Amino acid sequence: MEVYGSTVFPYEIEKVITENKNVFAAIVLPVKDKTTGDRLPSAAVVYKPGSEESKESMQNFIREQLNISKDNQLIECLFVPRIFVSFSEFPHLLSGKPDREGIKKIMQQNVEAEKYSFFLRNIAMVRSFCTGR
């Protein structure tokens, strides 16, 4: 997949994610940001029962595994997914393979919902600032 003009192989990121003891399976796909047009590395994750982790925790795990420091911002943009979507199980095609297009659509909806939520939080903050409440 191409991320910010560089080629990144999803299986490299998937391999790192599945090294986490709480992860059962992972699929990494590029999800397009409709505002900027950038393709963002995004992870669909199936956690082991009762062991779901936060997005920040998973991002930190990947940074540690790949030895990404604050000096390596470009590498972080390429290899640390900004979007994590948790699945109880992946949807499958009739062939038994994970339905990557179906997963990608769900992830895209999550990106749009997250942006809308961020927008609403900022509107509320601006309103309270302007009204002094």
pLDDT in tens, 29-70: 988 777 777 788 899 999 999 888 888 999 999 999 988 887
Q: What is the pTM of this model?
A: 0.76
Whether the pLDDT of residue 107 is over 90: the answer is no
Number of domains in the chain: 1
Question: Per DSSP, what are the bridge partners of residue 44?
Answer: 27, 85
Where in the sequence is the domain holding 49, given as residue range(s)? 2-131
CATH number at residue 30: 3.30.300.30
Q: Are strands 23-32 and 39-47 parallel, antiparallel or unpaired?
A: antiparallel
Q: Report whether 1 contacts 26 (CB < 8 A).
A: no
**pLDDT the model gives residue 112:** 64
